[in-house]
Amino acid sequence: MRVELDSVKHRLRVYADTSVFGGCLDEEFKSASLKFFAEVRSGRFCVVVSPTTLRELARAPVAIRTVLAELPRDVVDVVTHSAEAEALRDAYISAGVLGMASQADAEHIAYASVSEVDIIISWNFKHIVNFDKIRGFHAINMLRGYAFVPIHSPPEVIET
């Protein structure tokens, strides 16, 4: 029996931090952000959001909140509050991967890791999509028994 690759599709679970939603309204990031969400709507990706994302979006302009609100429910996975994620966030901070001022950024990575997503995407090149930070996140994840989660910018995951 021959299996066609097109018949065996796995919808990638992609954790998108708040910067990806905001990117839809930023000239520099608009094209790739909109393309990512178009691929979410088409079913290529399931977008995963956390309580951190929801909290940050609640303070964002209406146009940014609308990006999430207009996605079909079957392509959105909202993870719930987790003491496990908070403990992992604290481990990143204790290890010096990020400082206390970047607690929300650490939460994004922790929720994504605990939720076993396939990929994390962000436009935050200072605290998330950063070679040294990624190495730190991976090291703590390994010590705590979590998988390495690939971290990329949106252009690296969308189809061109």
Does any domain span residue 25?
Answer: yes
Q: What is the pLDDT of residues 49-93, one digit of tens each?
A: 999 999 999 999 999 999 999 999 999 999 999 999 999 999 999
In angstroms, the CA 121 to CA 109 distance is 10
Q: How far is CA 137 from CA 28, 45, 85, 127, in A?
A: 27, 23, 13, 11
* Structural domain of 70: 11-156
Domain membership of residue 121 (yes or no) is yes
What CATH number does the domain containing 132 carry? 3.40.50.1010
pLDDT digits (tens, 9 = 90+) for 115-160: 999 999 999 999 999 999 999 999 999 999 999 999 999 999 999 7
Distance from chain centroid for Cα 114 = 12
The answer as to whether 140 is a domain residue is yes
Domain assignment of residue 6, yes or no: no
Question: How many domains are contained in the chain?
Answer: 1
Query: Is 57 a member of any domain?
Result: yes
Q: pLDDT tens for residues 92-112? A: 999 999 999 999 999 999 999
With a cut of 50, say whether residue 1 has pLDDT above it. no
Give a yes or no: residue 112 inside a domain: yes
pLDDT for residue 48 is more than 90: yes
Contact 52, 104 (CB under 8 A): yes
d(CA 73, CA 91): 32
For residue 159, which amino acid is it?
E
Give the pLDDT band of residue 10 (cuts 50, 70, 90): confident
| Residue 24 DSSP SS3 | helix
